[in-house]
Amino acid sequence: MTNGGAGLSRRAFLGAGVAFGGMALLAPSRTGAARAPFDVSAFKPTQEVTLTAGEMELKLLGPEGPATRILAYDGTPFRTLRMPRGTRLKATFVNGIDEGSTLHFHGIRMPNEFDGVPTLTQPLVQPGGRFVHLLPLDDPGTFFFHPHCDETGQAGKGLAGVLIVEDSRDPVFDAEHVLCLKDWRLKEDGSYLPLSEPDGASKAGTFGATRTVNGAASVELKAPAGGHVRLRILNIDSTRIMDIGVEGGEAWLIAVDGHALPPVRLDDLPDGIWRMGPAQRIDLDIRMPADGSPVTVGDYRAADIYQFATLTAAGKVGKSRKGPLALPKAELPKPALKQATRFSFTLQQATDQAVKDIALPPDDPLAKALIDSLCVGSTTYWGIQSESWPTGTRRNLPPPLARMEEGASYVVEIKNETRFPHPVHLHGHAFEVMSSSLGRLPRHFADTVLVQPGEAVETAFVAARGDWVFHCHILEHMETGMMGWFRVV
Ligand code: C2O
Ligand code: CU
């Protein structure tokens, strides 16, 4: 597929009849099973969906501009599912694109076998293939789903969707809007620039210059004057870290990665913004000015402020409520800090020695098989605790970064020794962000936390059974080594 010099290329050669003699090499060396088989017969779906990945056209360069071939589920850019809390979801993924893929429900606490990580939890889904996920949706909030193979290529071309788990106990807002932020790497004719370049993959990532919200340059939304608007903002970009700020109204952060926190006034946060890396989500409560003046929402990180949404007054609420409208407290396993076992992991630039192209010639079928089956790049730039996910010359999964016990509490410190920020994500859990050495974060639950250069962030969680990956969500970073896994038995 898309191929910058970083060599993140993995075409659908699997369908092309390449011999698979080499595949045995790829089986991760695993001892013991991390999970008791999930009792499928006891799972009674209350909702069923099919999500088919495929190509479609979208005019990303404006209504007059050329169309771009993007990837989407069911022909709907950022397809959005809404389900009530407690739903038992049967989601069938159908791979309608021309290379291997899987579906991962980001942030959902679920049985490990439905997590969608090729090699570790399931085989890669070949073109035309399908995979059934059984998901108990017990945590309300703003989640999303995306492929877990060639993410730079597939998510980079738009393959992602939104999963909103609604909670009937939530306060009633006067309006609600979902905003998916994503940049695109486009040429003027609507085709793609290389989605990854070595200079990006080895540094802050390869940025797109065409910025969009819900596929448009900006959106204008309506809300009654004096009313409360719930904004669900998702950073589904591959690369960009954003500083979300609001002007013109009162704004409170009421949830992070879907999970409620005691509302924090945005103005009370450092610089009056919430810094959000790829894969992170926030819910804001915005109180519209009573006089009908508009509110703007933007990314203030770049020198060129990107104002992606304007809320204009339409009508007026009868009785104005003071804010904030807090969500019910998150009901998540609470780590027992006194008894917790501690781990510390360091995010690193890979050593020079590891930064090498795969030792086999790139057109060797075995080299391709290695890269395709593990869904990785052919170059290593990054590591966690001196280990890299198999890339470059590494052929097998590294040993787990940690072995943990189901139901036990862990405090995991993440230290960033690189010059770049990394949004670090743990699958299958919601962890509590306890502290930041830079003192910039309120305590909150999350599934992804942004760790700044030189910063150490402490997280705590109760371990759930399974093999769970732990990786940077700057997609080029994860695909060039910044990924490891925990085994919980
Ligand atoms: Cu959004 Cu490995 O995940
Ligand atoms: Cu990173």
Q: What is the mean pLDDT of each run of 10 residues along the chain (489 residues)?
A: 33 30 35 63 95 98 96 98 98 97 97 93 94 97 96 96 98 98 98 94 95 97 97 98 97 98 96 97 98 97 94 94 96 96 93 46 55 65 77 65 96 97 98 93 96 97 96 94 92
pLDDT (0 to 100) of residue 329: 96
Is there an atom of ligand 1 within 6 Å of 279 CB? yes
For ligand 2, the distance from its centroid to the CA atom of residue 41, given in whole angstroms, is 39
Is there an atom of ligand 1 within 6 Å of 330 CB? no
Q: How far is CA 136 from CA 43, 46, 486, in A?
A: 9, 10, 22
pLDDT (0 to 100) of residue 23: 33
pTM exceeding the 0.85 threshold for the entire prediction: yes
pLDDT (0 to 100) of residue 38: 76
Q: Are 53 and 146 in contact (CB under 8 A)?
A: no
**Which residues, other chains included, contact 306 with Cβ-Cβ below 8 Å and sequence gap of 6+?**
211, 298, 299
Is there an atom of ligand 1 within 6 Å of 477 CB? no
Q: Which two tokens stand for residue 464?
A: 């759930």
Is there an atom of ligand 1 within 6 Å of 104 CB? yes
Query: Residue 279 carries which side chain, given as an amino acid letter?
Result: A
Measured in whole angstroms, the distance separating CA 384 from the mean position of its chain's CA atoms is: 18
d(CA 460, CA 444) in angstroms, rounded, equals: 10
Q: What is the CATH number of domain 337-488?
A: 2.60.40.420
Considering only CA atoms, which residue is closest to atom 3 of ligand 1?
106
pLDDT (0 to 100) of residue 33: 54
| 337-488 has the same fold as 175-316 | yes
Where exactly are the structural domains of the chain? Answer: 5-166, 175-316, 337-488
d(CA 73, CA 108) in angstroms, rounded, equals: 19
Query: Residue 299 carries which side chain, given as an amino acid letter?
Result: D
- Residues, beta carbon < 5 Å, ion ligand 2: 422, 472, 474, 477
pLDDT (0 to 100) of residue 338: 96
- Classified by CATH at the fold level, domain 5-166 comes out as Immunoglobulin-like (2.60.40)
Q: Are 476 and 196 in contact (CB under 8 A)?
A: yes
For ligand 2, the distance from its centroid to the CA atom of residue 75, given in whole angstroms, is 30
Q: Are 108 and 143 in contact (CB under 8 A)?
A: yes
pLDDT (0 to 100) of residue 383: 86
Q: Look at domain 175-316 and name its CATH class.
A: mainly beta
